[in-house]
Amino acid sequence: MKKVLIATLLILVVSIIPIFAQGASESSVKLGFIGPMTGDYGNYGNLISKGALLAIEQKNAKGGIAGKIQIELIVEDSEGDPQKGLAGIEKLASSDKIVALIGPVFTGVAFAVGERVQNEGIMMVTPSGTHKDITDIGNYVFRTVASDGLQGDVSGHYFYEKLGIRKLGVLYVKNDYSQGLYEGTKASFESRGGVVTIAETAQIGDKDFKTQLTKIRASNPDAIYIPNYTAEMAQILEQATQLGIKIPFLSSDGFSNPEIYDLAGDYTDGVIYVGPTQVKESSDYKKFVADYTAKWGFAPDSFATNAFDAANILFETLEKVYAKNGKFDRKAIRDTFAATKDFPGVTGTVNFAENGDLVAYQGVYKVEGKTPKYIGTYTVVDGELIEIK
Amino acid sequence: MGSIAEFFQHLMNGLTLGGIYALIALGYTMVYGILKFINFAHGDILMVGSYIGLFTFDAIRGQTMGPWTVIAFFIAMLAGMLFSAGLGMAIERIAYKPLRRATRLAPLLSAIGVSFILSNMAAWMWGTKSRKLDYPFDNSPIYLKGVSITPHQILILAVVIVMMVALKLFVDRSRIGKAMRATSLDQDTAKLMGIKADKIIAITFAIGSALAATAGFLIALEIKVYPSMGTMTGLKAFVAAVVGGIGNISGAMLGGILLGLLETFGVALLGIPYGLRDTIAFVALIIILLVKPEGLLGKAEKEKV
Amino acid sequence: MFNFILLILIYTAIFALMAIGQNLITGYVGLLSLTQAGFFAIGSYVTAILSVTYGWNFWLTVPMAALISSFFGLLIGLPTLRLKGDYLAIATLGFGEIVRNILNNWDSLTNGPMGIQRIPMISLFGIQISPYKKWGFLVLVWIFVLVAYFLFDRLAKSRLGRALEAIREDEIAASSMGINVTRYKVWAFILGAAVAGVAGSLQAEFILSVTPGAFTFMVSIMVLCMVVLGGMGNFKAVILGAFIIQFISYFPQLVGLSNVIPPQFKQILFGLILVVMMIWRPQGILGREKRSAPRRLFRSGGDV
């Protein structure tokens, strides 16, 4: 029992040290981040948090908010589990006293944490939670990513109208992101008169898609839509080539992660995907990609880009709130953030709709070899596909 | 594409998937055969071995593809195997050996602890992104009457068969193999007969871990290398080993292939949604265990009072 | 910080319920079962579906959660109990994966990977027990734990408990003494499942939403760790085990270290503690309650 006692004492001593170390300093302001940092989806949390972190380091290098207040990002690991996500927000809200939250990364955790921040009065902005209902939680919930609804709408219409596809095969993964895009695209594609001839599914973490691809080929569609994450898509494209499938592939914003060209190699040629607009390859976007890659050693995906924008919009918000009130008030931050108008982000001009959704357009890209070529920017208004010039 | 060609395509897909399960299951079954416990860290040893192989390959292969690339590939595989063998022995010495006499559960939980440590160390040191392992040969498919077969698929099936035969010969014929079987049957008696049981167990771990690295390195060509690459495939491989009769080398092979075919044809012919693939695997497992509780090729243990 | 301790205590209670069930199955009967995640998921979804889709009151969903979980306990228990040791472990682990797999794919009932949101909060005599205001919820979950503890501890010290222990120590001897081995094993399974189902109900009410991703086999493993770490065959010990595991899991967040150390360190630390703990005290912190005959804990070759 003696050993147990000593161990307990040690744990207690260690626990108390950081409490003393946590001196409340006026010269910093804290933002929170929640995402999967370990486990199967650790890569997504890592990429996205680094987007926010880059924005913060750049801002701090310029002196921070009002030229004197440094910004701190507190990252909490959700492991993709709502229970862990709730523990994260509990800590961020009550121990760290964050003024705003970037994240959570995935829909499941976003719902649980969203209810919590709404109740607590802390605004959150998810750079990657695409489920259409997330922003319905309440007025404290925002996103800098297009909802499934919009992307699906544009995809379905574009495939039917511009690509002339009538029979679509789909291979999606049974997770919220992939299934959300499939459902959105199917609805708009079929509203135009197209037919989804076959929709095959895969499980999270699957690496073998040959069975589904063989079945899809047998149903003979005009194109195969694969709204998945990067690693899965690389796998699908490679195995399709191995099976000798010549049907064109269509994809989603998951394809905007340059890692795909590393993983899938030459198999990416000819893929057409709908993703975020990048204001026709703006110089801001190029600079962001260069900075990010130089800093972390790997390239950002579209969600990391969204997190970078979210952080920068938050800085602008914090500047305004601080200039007006001289302190950071959670309610004022929410109101000012909601009133953001025409923010020049690296993903394009950012505005928020009444419900906290991003007012966004969708870019369409065609991959030639290993380079995505920008085709155009589209949105859907009243069931009509409209090109934004 | 005719339906016969489609059938054979599914058959080929199922065989290779099964081959992958069998490859991992061989290592599982070796370790289980001796120690009678689920080495939960097996999938993680597989992952570490794949990383080491990948690093070695990228360091020595040079710029151009040629015969050297293939040699470099096998040198890299050997490096991964050696490292894994050492790692497996170290883990056994530190985390399992002190628990030889404890309850059945203790080494199981210790193994889970080791699995946590390995996968998270890897994520921390090597990052979480998938890394590509390039094929050392041209992997363009060959077509046989409309059925595509890749060199990689053939390689996997060939290695499984070679490894199974080699292992079987080793365990059945060699001196060490005999000592292994003796240790497996009864550790205490084996010791009394002059067999250094601890040494035999360490060797078994080294071989099992090297097999894991081989499997990992070969499947990494297709699935890439990342920290959790061994987890789910490893679990399935374990199911395969149990189905075949755990501890039985031919059983591991049979179980692996059977599982791969079941998953593929359950989806392809019976029209079960692919999302339910894991359900097929586990339902098959439960049914097989009910009919033959010791697995397809396992030996029934007599209960002694 | 203080709020965070309350949160840990709530999670402790929810997992302690599962650990109590696991203890009956593993600690008393000696069956290495890894199903708790499955029953936990079933309980969560029963409460979520009944309260969101059908508008049931939480208090009616709890007995349903227990009932449906125990039905599945019976369903999985009857056939698999023929299996021994690791075979049982892998078959029961398979059951947990099947449950998660089906929840993820049965879209019309479970809403698939999207999960179910907006679960109405618990209310008792018109007072809402909000998970945001932790005290009420904390008291509620601990009442559940105390009731379960009381019931299971009584049960374990009754005729049933002695029969179960007899089965663990020597199945053949037990059956020759006239103990209906299968019946008792199945009962242990049913009761263990029921209490895990209740834990699921409470979890759904605390998170206020359910998604299939939260019920991986790691949950079962965690619960097993709690039982072994605390001490098998000792209900007080497994509650302590639940607290210790949750405390370790959330320790870096509690003391504000989670942002300082790499996120993987928390998991590595957890792994290290497991290994060290098993080597240092494989019988758990408190060990088995000393009541009867000499123990055979250190005998090798037993099932558990």
Q: At what angle do helices C134-157 and C159-169 cross, to 10 degrees?
A: 70
Residues of C in Cβ contact (< 8 Å) with A180: 114
| Strand ranges (E), chain C | 122-124, 127-129
Q: Does the pLDDT value for residue C300 go beyond 80? A: no
Distance from CA of B85 to the nearest CA of A (A): 25
Helices (H) and strands (E) in chain C, counts: 12, 2
Same domain, yes or no: A113 and A184: no
Q: What band does A23 get if pLDDT is binned at 50, 70 and 90?
A: very low
- Cβ-defined contact of C258 to A77 (cutoff 8 Å): yes
Token digits for C243?
């607290």
> What residues contact residue C172 under an 8 Å CB cut-off, 6+ apart?
B303, B305
Beta bridge partners, A73, equal A31
- Cβ-defined contact of B303 to C172 (cutoff 8 Å): yes
Closest CA to C161 of C142, C176, C179: C179
State the average pLDDT over residues C116-126.
88
pLDDT tens sequence across A124-141: 999 998 888 899 999 999
- Cβ-defined contact of C271 to B107 (cutoff 8 Å): no
Token digits for A42?
């650790």
Please report, for residues B206, C238, C290, the alpha-carbon distance to residue C294 in angstroms, rounded to integers and kept in the order given.
38, 21, 9
pLDDT tens sequence across B206-254: 999 999 999 999 999 988 999 989 887 888 888 898 888 888 889 999 9
pLDDT value of residue B287: 86
Residue B50 at interface with chain A, using a CB cutoff of 8 Å: no
Amino acid at A70: Q
Q: SS3 for B257?
A: helix
| % of chain A beyond a pLDDT of 70 | 92
Residue C68 at interface with chain B, using a CB cutoff of 8 Å: no
pLDDT value of residue A299: 86
Distance from CA of B237 to the nearest CA of A (A): 14
d(CA A319, CA B167): 69
Phi, psi (rounded to 5 degrees) for B143: -110, 130
Q: What band does A279 get if pLDDT is binned at 50, 70 and 90?
A: low
State the average pLDDT over residues A320-325.
92
Contact A275, A130 (CB under 8 A): no
Task: Identify the residue with better confidence: A354 or C68.
Answer: C68
Q: What band does C298 get if pLDDT is binned at 50, 70 and 90?
A: very low
pLDDT value of residue C286: 83
Please report, for residues A34, A260, B13, the alpha-carbon distance to residue A235 in angstroms, rounded to integers and kept in the order given.
28, 10, 14
Sequence length of chain A is 389
State how beta strands A362-368 and B147-149 pair: unpaired
Distance from CA of A46 to the nearest CA of B (A): 8
pLDDT value of residue A283: 82
| % of chain B beyond a pLDDT of 90 | 44
Q: Which domain holds residue A108?
A: 2-145+300-350
Residue C214 at interface with chain A, using a CB cutoff of 8 Å: yes
| Domain count of the fold of chain B | 1
- Cβ-defined contact of C211 to A176 (cutoff 8 Å): yes
Contact B223, A207 (CB under 8 A): yes
Q: Is B62 left (phi over 0), alpha (psi -120 to 50) or beta?
A: left
Q: SS3 for B304?
A: coil
> Please, what sign has the CA dihedral across residues C102, C105, C111, C114?
positive
State the average pLDDT over residues B35-55.
92
Output the domain CATH number for residue A159.
3.40.50.2300
Q: Which chains touch C (3 or more CB pairs under 8 A)?
A: A, B
> What residues contact residue A290 under an 8 Å CB cut-off, 6+ apart?
none
Q: What band does A2 get if pLDDT is binned at 50, 70 and 90?
A: low
Contact C41, C99 (CB under 8 A): yes
Q: Which region among A59-68, B167-176, B280-289 has the lowest average model confidence (pLDDT)?
A: B280-289
Q: Which domain holds residue B147?
A: 25-228
Amino acid at B264: T
Distance from CA of residue B243 to its chain's centroid?
A: 14
Of A40, A174, A234, the CB nearest to B228: A40
Amino acid at A200: E
Q: Does the pLDDT value for residue C224 go beyond 80? A: yes
DSSP string, A78-111: -TT-HHHHHHHHHIIIIII--SEEE--SSHHHHH
Q: What band does B46 get if pLDDT is binned at 50, 70 and 90?
A: very high
Task: Identify the residue with better confidence: B277 or B74.
Answer: B74
> What residues contact residue C86 under an 8 Å CB cut-off, 6+ apart?
B32, B36, B37, B38, B104, B242, B246, C32
- Cβ-defined contact of C207 to A107 (cutoff 8 Å): no
Of B273, B281, B289, the CB nearest to C105: B273
Contact C199, A83 (CB under 8 A): no
Question: HEC states along C149-178?
Answer: HHHHHHHHHCHHHHHHHHHHHCHHHHHHCC
pLDDT value of residue A20: 46
Same domain, yes or no: A235 and A384: yes
pLDDT tens sequence across B200-211: 999 999 999 999
Task: Identify the residue with better confidence: B171 or C41.
Answer: C41
Same domain, yes or no: A137 and A212: no
Name the H helices within A206-301.
Answer: 210-219, 230-242, 259-264, 283-296
Closest CA to A227 of A188, A176, A189, A268: A176
State how beta strands A384-388 and A371-381 pair: antiparallel
d(CA A60, CA A38): 27
Q: What band does B300 get if pLDDT is binned at 50, 70 and 90?
A: low
pLDDT value of residue A25: 46
In a domain, B119, yes or no: yes
Q: SS3 for A250?
A: strand
Same domain, yes or no: A38 and A137: yes
- Cβ-defined contact of B232 to A242 (cutoff 8 Å): no
Of B1, B264, B277, the CB nearest to A218: B1
State the average pLDDT over residues A216-233.
92
Token digits for B63?
């710029």
Closest CA to C297 of C116, C105, C169: C169
| Strand ranges (E), chain A | 28-35, 70-77, 100-102, 123-126, 141-143, 167-173, 195-202, 223-226, 249-251, 272-276, 343-345, 348-350, 362-368, 371-381, 384-388
Distance from CA of C187 to the nearest CA of A (A): 30
Distance from CA of A172 to the nearest CA of B (A): 10
Amino acid at C42: I
Q: Does the pLDDT value for residue C292 go beyond 60? A: no
Same domain, yes or no: A140 and A236: no
pLDDT value of residue C174: 80
Contact B22, B89 (CB under 8 A): no
In this structure, whether the domain defined by C2-280 belongs to CATH 1.10.3470 is answered with yes
Specify burial of residue A30 (Cβ count, 10 A radius: 0-12, 13-18, 19+). middle
d(CA B163, CA A168): 43
Q: What is the mean pLDDT of chain C?
A: 87
Q: Does the pLDDT value for residue A307 go beyond 80? A: yes
State the average pLDDT over residues C261-287.
86
Task: Identify the residue with better confidence: A40 or B190.
Answer: B190
Q: What is the CB-side half-sphere exposure of residue C107 using CA atoms within 13 A?
A: 11
In a domain, B115, yes or no: yes
Token digits for B20?
């992958």
In a domain, A93, yes or no: yes
Q: What band does A9 get if pLDDT is binned at 50, 70 and 90?
A: low
Token digits for B280?
């097929």
Assembly ipTM: 0.86
pLDDT tens sequence across B106-143: 888 899 899 999 999 999 999 888 899 999 988 888 88
Q: SS3 for A224?
A: strand
Contact A243, B231 (CB under 8 A): no
Same domain, yes or no: A21 and A122: yes
Q: What band does C301 get if pLDDT is binned at 50, 70 and 90?
A: very low
Task: Please work out, in degrees rounded to the nearest 5, the angle formed at the alpha carbon of residue A130 by the alpha carbons of A339 and A235.
Answer: 145
| % of chain A beyond a pLDDT of 90 | 54
State the average pLDDT over residues C93-97.
88
Could you identify the residue written with the tokens 């990342």? B226
Chain A neighbours among C 55-114 (CB < 8 Å)?
101, 104-105, 112-114
Specify burial of residue C142 (Cβ count, 10 A radius: 0-12, 13-18, 19+). middle
d(CA A376, CA A385): 12
Q: Does the pLDDT value for residue C5 go beyond 50? A: yes
Phi, psi (rounded to 5 degrees) for C117: -115, 180
pLDDT value of residue B269: 77
Residue A207 at interface with chain B, using a CB cutoff of 8 Å: yes
For chain C, the straight-line distance linking the first and the last C-alpha, in angstroms and rounded, comes to 39
Q: SS3 for B43?
A: helix
DSSP A307: H
DSSP A255: G
d(CA A316, CA A100): 13
Residues of C in Cβ contact (< 8 Å) with A119: 132
- Cβ-defined contact of B128 to A200 (cutoff 8 Å): no
Closest CA to A110 of A142, A72, A156, A150: A142
d(CA B52, CA C284): 37
Contact A339, A331 (CB under 8 A): no
